[in-house]
């Protein structure tokens, strides 16, 4: 049993090492940045949608308050003219409008809370995105410093090989 487990572990380790060599870190980093940007854009769209909902709810609440004010005036007139049947009808509409107002206020409160939470999350995501971009720039700069590619020959030289060649050339000049 232990032999099979050890062989399995070795096989997994070799596969992981092989995948590490195949994967291009710069490409993976750029893909991560693209995915993160897509999520941020989606969240921005969601935030805009919540803003529109809040505006719509505010308009509905204002219209309902105006309607309630009108019902109050109508009730005053009905009671002054002793029109109890008409007043009952207006009271029923007023109660319906009050329920609509309470529902609208509750929905507005929920939407504003969601929007506030989304704004916080979005700010955190954008900060993480900027940090990842900076890290990517540093990574690309370091990679460019470590490897110099000769476009004419298609040969890649690492920084150490360049330094050794430079010292040899310097030594030749000093000996001449």
What's the domain range around 120? 38-147
The Cα–Cα gap between 116 and 110 comes to 10
In terms of pLDDT, which residue wins out, 172 or 42?
42
Domain annotation covers residue 16? no
**CATH code, domain carrying 107:** 1.10.287
Domain annotation covers residue 61? yes
Position 127 pLDDT exceeds 50: yes
Domain annotation covers residue 66? yes
Domain annotation covers residue 96? yes
152 confidence band (pLDDT: 50, 70, 90): very low
Residue 121 confidence (pLDDT): 93
Would the pTM count as exceeding 0.95?
A: no
Share of the chain above pLDDT 90, in %: 50
Residue 103 confidence (pLDDT): 97
Enter the tokens of residue 162.
């360049």
Residue 16 confidence (pLDDT): 59
Residue 19 confidence (pLDDT): 57
**How many distinct structural domains can be found in the chain?**
1
Domain annotation covers residue 28? no
Enter the tokens of residue 128.
């993480």
Enter the tokens of residue 96.
């319906």
Domain annotation covers residue 166? no
Domain annotation covers residue 5? no
Model pLDDT for residues 65-101, shown as the tens digit of each residue: 999 999 999 999 999 999 999 999 999 999 999 999 9
């Amino acid at each position: 049993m232990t032999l099979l487990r050890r062989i399995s572990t070795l096989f997994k380790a070799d596969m992981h090492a092989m995948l590490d060599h195949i994967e291009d870190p710069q490409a993976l980093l750029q893909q991560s940045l693209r995915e993160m940007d897509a999520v941020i854009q989606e969240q921005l769209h969601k935030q805009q949608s919540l803003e529109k909902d809040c505006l719509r709810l505010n308009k509905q609440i204002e219209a309902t308050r105006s309607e309630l004010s009108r019902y109050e005036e109508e009730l005053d007139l009905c009671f002054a003219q002793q029109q109890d049947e008409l007043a009952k009808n207006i009271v029923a509409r007023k109660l319906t409008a009050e329920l609509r107002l309470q529902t609208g206020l509750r929905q507005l409160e929920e939407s504003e809370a969601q929007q506030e939470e989304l704004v916080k999350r979005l700010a955190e995501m954008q900060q993480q995105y900027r940090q990842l971009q900076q890290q990517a720039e540093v990574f690309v700069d370091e990679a460019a410093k470590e490897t110099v590619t000769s476009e004419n020959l298609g040969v890649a030289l690492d920084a150490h090989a360049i330094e050794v060649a430079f010292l040899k050339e310097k030594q030749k000049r000093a000996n001449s």
